[in-house]
Amino acid sequence: MLHTNDKKKGIVLLDSKIPVIIYFLIFSLIVYGLSENGFFGEYGETYTHVIHHPTVHFWMMLTGLWVFFLRLGAEIEVNDILKAGPLIIGTILGGVIVPLILTTSLAYFIGGIGLAVALYASAGSMATDVPMAIGSAKMAKNISTTVMISALTMLAVGDDLLGIISMIGLFSQGVEQIQTLSIPGLLVLMVAYFFGKFSPVIVTELKEEEEKDQKTYKIIGRKTYDVTIQSPTFWVTLCIFNTSLLGFNGIEPILGGCLPMIFAPDNVKQLVIEKTESLALWLLLPFALVAGSINVLDPLSWGVFTTIALVGGFGGKLIGIYFGGLICQRYVDPNSDYGKNKLNKMSLLSMAIAGACNGTVAIIFVSVAQTNELIPLEIAAQMKIGFLLTVPLSYLLNKTIDTVENFVPEERKYSWT
């Protein structure tokens, strides 16, 4: 995982303590709630109308999240993915399947709604809010490690990717979109791999003819040609092309830049990280304005589905990530960076708690279902708040286990390994 300069300042320094998106989101929740309840008069009506405009939704959410995920792609290393492979696959599958089943079951049996509506309403439980999840992990200072943050980042990106694919099947034409995109999408990633990580090179042999009649040759050397493309312009263009490819096929394009950037050369990754460090955080402001357009002051927005989303989304992801990782970690070399000797059970638990932040990404999923008239407005409102509450719960639990771990004697700190 690549790292930025330790000399942080301004919004970057603020974000290193508590994710800045939380400040933005709280501000939006307050302003939107007051606007909806008439405290700002006609200005409040204008605000809520603008925030809910489809074009505003699209550009605010696309721009903010696209740049943020582009930066995440630059921080993820292919070698880390290969090392952590089984662990990450287990946590992703567990963190998507278990919460979806649990939340849907609760919505169907306790909420008393149809199975299809329960499934659509529960889609947000598959999501992991990346910035908030990383912020939650950092609350556990006595447990959090670079390896754990790296694994959590890969988990969060994989969760959201699998969640988006699932959204296609739930909310759109499904199989047709995936089939249309599969070949060109795969070609883009193959191009990214070839020009970014397929090094070192194409090799040609230099030969000298020894005996002309016998056609015998002596190899006198080799010449190599590096196929890696170091141009940042090429990589940004490839990322934009991939984003357009997703968008034209009707698929959420926020990961369009992230995936090719994973394969970019290290110097390009480092440049992207440096140039987008503060920009990505500021672009979370307009995203938070949209994601936070929830009327928390409306009593009808709180109810049984709020609890269902909180319990199903958070509890399901916590169980799925932890046990999925625990089961699949046995296939990882125990002495490697992501083996049980460096990522012990307590760290895995903290990572699962952090990954259980459904947050703003889940709100997007619910909004898509609501826009497509697949779930009623009142259920959507309650589910959004429930998924949002997974964030403070995650922070509270990670802070709690960090406090407990602080009082554990040194000789007992590794008893969980």
Q: Give me the pLDDT at residue 302, please.
A: 92
In-domain check, residue 85: yes
Pairwise pLDDT comparison (13 vs 385), residue with the higher score: 385
Q: Give me the pLDDT at residue 313, please.
A: 94
* Least confident piece of the model among 97-106, 210-219, 401-410: 210-219
Q: Give me the pLDDT at residue 416, please.
A: 44
pLDDT band per the 50, 70, 90 thresholds, residue 277: confident
In-domain check, residue 329: yes
In-domain check, residue 413: no
Average pLDDT for 328-354: 89
Q: For 133-146, how does the pLDDT look when each residue is reduced to its tens digit (9 = 90+)? A: 888 888 888 887 88
In-domain check, residue 1: no
> Among 10-19, 69-78, 87-96, 284-293, which range has the highest average pLDDT?
87-96
Q: For 104-153, how does the pLDDT look when each residue is reduced to its tens digit (9 = 90+)? A: 999 999 999 999 899 989 988 998 888 888 888 888 888 878 888 888 88
Q: What's this model's pTM, rounded to 2 decimal places?
A: 0.80
Q: For 203-260, how does the pLDDT look when each residue is reduced to its tens digit (9 = 90+)? A: 555 555 555 555 555 555 555 567 788 889 999 999 999 888 877 766 667 778 888 9
> Among 235-244, 269-278, 306-315, which range has the highest average pLDDT?
306-315
- CB environment 284-315: b (16+ within 10 A), e (fewer): bbbbbbbbbbbbbeeeebebebbbbbbbbbbb
In-domain check, residue 416: no
In-domain check, residue 414: no
Q: For 145-199, how does the pLDDT look when each residue is reduced to its tens digit (9 = 90+)? A: 888 888 888 888 888 777 777 766 666 545 555 555 567 778 888 888 888 877 6
In-domain check, residue 3: no
Number of domains in the chain: 1
In-domain check, residue 415: no
pLDDT band per the 50, 70, 90 thresholds, residue 409: low
Range of the domain at 256: 10-407
Task: For residue 175, give the CATH number of its domain.
Answer: 1.20.1530.20
Residue 113 phi/psi, 5-degree rounding, is -105, 165
Q: For 44-68, how does the pLDDT look when each residue is reduced to its tens digit (9 = 90+)? A: 778 777 777 777 767 776 777 788 8
> What's the mean pLDDT when you consider all of the chain?
81
